[in-house]
Amino acid sequence: MSRRTRPDLSTAMQRLIREVRTQVPFDMPEASLCRGPCKGCSKKLLEFLDTELEEWEGRLEEGEVPRFGDLTRLERLARKVVAALRKNGLIATV
């Protein structure tokens, strides 16, 4: 019976960052972001999430090892931003 091993926390954080960068439309034109009434400013939410991702990318490059709570916090933030983008009609509901 083989036992799957979990990735270390640094690898898990790198995978999370890569997944968020793939799924969240950071390159969406500003004109598309600000087109009518919003439930939360999509532009500011994307900028905030991008800043958090960049911060963790830098910290990982410097050798910092995230804690499990750091992973959970970043994942929760990304989910909330995606939910807001869906409410604003910028991401299709799956």
d(CA 47, CA 43): 6
pLDDT digits (tens, 9 = 90+) for 77-91: 999 999 988 888 888
pLDDT at 66: 97
pTM (global) more than 0.75: yes
Residue 1 has pLDDT above 60, yes or no: no
d(CA 35, CA 30): 9
Least Cα distance to 84 among 29, 32, 46 occurs for 46
pLDDT digits (tens, 9 = 90+) for 50-67: 999 999 999 999 999 999
pLDDT at 42: 86
What is the CA angle 63-56-86, rounded to 5? Answer: 155
66, two tokens: 């995230």
Residue 2 has pLDDT above 70, yes or no: no
